[in-house]
A and B are shown apart, each in its own frame.
Chain A
Amino acid sequence: MEQVAARRPRRFYILVFVLPAFILYSMFMAFPLLDSLRLSLYQEQAGGPDVFVGLANFERLFNDPVWSERFWNALRNNFVFFAVHMLVQNPIALLLAALLTTRGVRGVALFRTILFAPTTLSFVIIGFIWQLMLSPLWGILNNPAKTLGLPTPLLGQTQSALVTVSLVSVWQFVGLPMMLFSAALISISEELIDAARVDGATGWQTFWRVRFPLILPTVGIVGILTFVGNFNAFDLIYTMQGALAPPNFGTDILGTFFYRTTFGGGATQRPNPIMGTTIATIMFLIILTGVLIYLFGIQRRLVRAES
C-alpha cells in the first residue's frame, strides 16, 4: 500500500478511500481469524507466554476420550442439523418460491411478507417462543405430539431433540432461500415459459424442465449458504437448550461445543480458550472445504452449463 503512495503521490486519494476499510477489516476480522488459527497450535501456561505445541491440541481433540467423545458427537449432530435443512428447508423454500412466482397468483406481496416474517426475528425470540410452544407445562404442541405417539417432551428425548431444534431453525429460516429462489425465478424470461406452454408442457414439466435448470446457480448458492450457516450455528440451540445442549449432549453442535469449551459450561467444565481455538480451527477448515467445493466444483460446472 505505502509503495503505491510513494510511486504515485498524485493518486493519494486511492489510499484515503481504501485505508479505513482495509484497517478495520484487517484488524477486527482478518487478524483475529488468523491469530485464532495460530493459537490452536499453542498451549496456555500459568503466568507465562503461550507455548508452541504443534498439533497436540488436535491430537487431543480427536483421540483423547475427554474431548473426542464430545467432538465427534457435535460433528455428527452438526451434519444431521445440516441434512435437515437441506432436505426440509430448501425444498419447502423452492416450492413456496415456485408457487409465489406462478403467473396469475394473487396476494403475492402479502404471502411473501408473512412467510419471511420469522426470519426477521432474533434467535433469542424464536428460541424462547418454541420452548414455550413445546413445553409440556403449556402443552400447545406437547399434547398433540403425545397423541401422535411421538416421544415427548420433544426437546427432552434423545431421539427427537436434535430433529426438533433443526425443524425450528428451518421454520425460522425458510424465508431466506425462498427469497433467493423467487428472485432467480422472476428473472427468467416470460417468453421461455410461454414457449414451453405452447409446446404443451404442463406446469410441473415447465418447472422441472425449464425453470429449475435455469436457477441451478441459485440452488448452488443456497446450498453453500446453508452449509456455512449451519456449521456456524449456535444461537438457537443455546437459547432453546442452553450451553449444555441436553439431553445428554443430544443437541450439541460445533457452535455450542465451541462456546462451552471457550467460556465454560455448567459446573464441571472450566473455560479453555485455547481448546476453543482448536475447535474454531476445525470449523474454519470445514467451512473452507465447503466453500472451495462450491467455488471450484459446483459453481464452475454450473457456469459452464449455462454458457
Chain B
Amino acid sequence: MTATATARAQTSAPATSALRQRLGRAGTYVILIVYSLIAVFPVALILINSFKDKREVFSSPYSLPNPINMSGYETVFGRANVIRYFGNSLAVTLTTIILVLLFGAMAAYALSEYRFFGNRFLAIYFALGIMIPVRLGTVSLIRLMKTLNLHGTLGALILVYAAAGLPISIFILHSFMHDVPRELKDAARVDGASEYRILFQLVMPLVRPALATVAVFHMIPVWNDLWWPLVLASGESVRTITLGISWFVGQFKTDWSALLASLSLAMMPVLILYALFSRQLIRGLSEGAVKL
C-alpha cells in the first residue's frame, strides 16, 4: 500500500509496473494450474471410473464412485496373468539397467582414463548410437535372434535394450568420470590397487549420482516399450506388462469396467513409484540433460 502511495507521489509509471508484476504473477499461476489440470484430467478420470460399474461409467463419468465397484478388477485378474506380466517387465528392466550400468561404466572408464590406439574411433563409434534408433534394424535383429535361438525370449529383449542403452550411458558416465580428480586414482595406484579395483571401488562409488541418472534414463523407456515385446517376444509366458495391457485391452473392447481397470492397473505402479521418486527422477533427467 505504501509503495503505491509513494509511487503515486512520484510518477505513475512504477505503480503500473507493480500492478503489471502482480498481474504477471497471477497469470503465471493461472497458466500453470490450467496446464496441470490438462495433464491430470484424463488420468484421473480413468482411475476414478475404473471403480464404477458400466452403467455408472456412462451415466455419471465425473462423479466419484459410489459405491466402490471392483468388478472390473476382478475380471482382469481372473482372465489375464497380470502378476506374470509384471514379473517379466521387472526382470527385463532390472537386468537391462544392470548390464547398461556395468558395461557402460567399464567402457566409459576406459575411454576417459586411458589413451590407447582406437580410443577416439571407439568414442565416435559409440556416440553414433545415441541418435540412431535401433528400431530401424528390426528385420535384421529378428533374423539374428532366430539364428541365436533367442527369438521369443526375455533374453532377446534384454540384449537389444542393453545394446541400445549403452551409447547414451557411456556418454553421460564418460563426462562424469572425467571429473574424478586424477590425484585420487594415482594415489590408489601408488598404493598398489589394480585398475579393476580403482574402477569398481573408487571411481564407481564416486560417480554414484551419474549411475542413478543413467538408471533413470533407461527405466521408463524400457518398462514402457511396446515395439520390441511386440516383434521379439509376444508369447504369453514372456509378455511384458506393456504388451500385456495392449493385448487384453483388445480383449475387453466392450467390457468398459474391465477396460478401465486394466488401464488403471497398468498405471498405478508407475504413478506410485513416480510420486515417491519424482524429485530424484527429475533431478537425474535434468543432470543428464545438461550433459547432452
Give the interface of A toward B (CB within 8 A).
Answer: 1, 3-4, 7-8, 11, 13-14, 16-18, 20-22, 24-25, 27-36, 39, 92, 95-96, 99-100, 102, 104-105, 109, 111-125, 128-130, 132-133, 137-138, 140, 171, 175, 179-180, 182-184, 186-187, 202-203, 221, 224, 228, 232, 234-235, 238-239, 255, 258, 262-263, 273-274, 276-277, 280-281, 283-284, 287-288, 291
Give the interface of B toward A (CB within 8 A).
Answer: 17, 20-21, 24-25, 28-29, 31-32, 35-36, 38-40, 42-43, 45-46, 57-58, 61, 99, 102-104, 106-107, 109-111, 114, 116-118, 122, 125-126, 129, 131-144, 159-160, 162-164, 166-167, 170, 194-196, 199, 220, 223-227, 231, 242-243, 245-246, 249, 259-260, 263, 266-267, 270-271, 274-275, 278-279, 281-282, 285-287, 289-290, 292
Tell me which residues across on chain A come within 8 A of B166, comparing CB atoms.
21, 24-25, 29
13 contacts between A and B (CB under 8 A): A21-B104, A24-B166, A25-B167, A29-B129, A115-B39, A120-B270, A120-B271, A121-B43, A124-B224, A132-B260, A138-B61, A179-B289, A202-B17
Of A31, A116, A186, A291, the residue contacting B144 (CB under 8 A) is A31
Tell me which residues across on chain B come within 8 A of A258, comparing CB atoms.
138
Of B29, B117, B223, B274, the residue contacting A117 (CB under 8 A) is B274
Closest to B28 in A: A99
Tell me which residues across on chain B come within 8 A of A104, comparing CB atoms.
25
**Known pairs A100-B32, A125-B266, A179-B289; A133 contacts B42 (CB<8 A):** yes
A273–B61 CA distance with the chains assembled, in angstroms: 45
Contact call B290/A171, Cβ cutoff below 8 A: no
Contact call B131/A128, Cβ cutoff below 8 A: no
A226–B104 CA distance with the chains assembled, in angstroms: 25
**Known pairs A17-B109, A124-B226; A183 contacts B133 (CB<8 A):** no
Q: Which of A29, A203, A224 has the most CB of B within 10 A?
A: A29
Contact call A123/B274, Cβ cutoff below 8 A: no
Contact call B32/A120, Cβ cutoff below 8 A: no
Main SS at interface, chain B: helix
Contact call A239/B226, Cβ cutoff below 8 A: yes
Closest to B288 in A: A183
A58 nearest CB across to chain B (Å): 15
B54 nearest CB across to chain A (Å): 11
Contact call B28/A122, Cβ cutoff below 8 A: no
Tell me which residues across on chain A come within 8 A of B46, comparing CB atoms.
129, 132
**Known pairs A117-B43, A124-B266, A238-B226; A30 contacts B122 (CB<8 A):** no
A129–B249 CA distance with the chains assembled, in angstroms: 11
**Known pairs A20-B106, A125-B266; A133 contacts B139 (CB<8 A):** no
Extra pairs beyond A129-B263, A202-B20 (17, CB < 8 Å): A4-B116, A7-B117, A28-B141, A29-B163, A36-B140, A102-B28, A114-B40, A117-B274, A123-B224, A124-B224, A128-B245, A140-B61, A179-B282, A179-B289, A202-B17, A234-B227, A281-B136
A16–B109 CA distance with the chains assembled, in angstroms: 11
Tell me which residues across on chain B come within 8 A of A179, comparing CB atoms.
282, 285-286, 289
Q: Which of B39, B40, B126, B281 has the most CB of A within 10 A?
A: B39
**Known pairs A102-B28, A128-B249; A21 contacts B106 (CB<8 A):** yes
Tell me which residues across on chain A come within 8 A of B57, comparing CB atoms.
138
Closest to B145 in A: A28
A58–B53 CA distance with the chains assembled, in angstroms: 53
A1–B35 CA distance with the chains assembled, in angstroms: 53
**Known pairs A18-B106, A21-B107, A121-B270; A4 contacts B141 (CB<8 A):** no
Contact call A13/B196, Cβ cutoff below 8 A: yes
A119–B282 CA distance with the chains assembled, in angstroms: 11
Contact call B38/A171, Cβ cutoff below 8 A: yes
Contact call B45/A33, Cβ cutoff below 8 A: no
Tell me which residues across on chain B come within 8 A of A175, comparing CB atoms.
39
**Known pairs A22-B107, A262-B139, A263-B231; A30 contacts B39 (CB<8 A):** no
Contact call B139/A129, Cβ cutoff below 8 A: no
Tell me which residues across on chain B come within 8 A of A171, comparing CB atoms.
38-39, 42
Contact call B42/A32, Cβ cutoff below 8 A: no
Tell me which residues across on chain B come within 8 A of A221, comparing CB atoms.
289, 292
**Known pairs A116-B278, A122-B223, A234-B135; A133 contacts B266 (CB<8 A):** no
Contact call A291/B163, Cβ cutoff below 8 A: no
Tell me which residues across on chain A come within 8 A of B279, comparing CB atoms.
109, 113
Tell me which residues across on chain A come within 8 A of B170, comparing CB atoms.
21
A184–B285 CA distance with the chains assembled, in angstroms: 12
A86–B291 CA distance with the chains assembled, in angstroms: 23
Tell me which residues across on chain B come within 8 A of A115, comparing CB atoms.
32, 35-36, 39
Contact call A95/B31, Cβ cutoff below 8 A: yes
**Known pairs A24-B99, A116-B278, A138-B58; A123 contacts B226 (CB<8 A):** yes
Tell me which residues across on chain A come within 8 A of B142, comparing CB atoms.
273
Contact call B274/A120, Cβ cutoff below 8 A: yes
Contact call A31/B140, Cβ cutoff below 8 A: yes
Tell me which residues across on chain B come within 8 A of A255, comparing CB atoms.
135
Tell me which residues across on chain B come within 8 A of A27, comparing CB atoms.
144, 159, 163
**Known pairs A22-B122, A25-B167, A125-B266; A112 contacts B137 (CB<8 A):** no
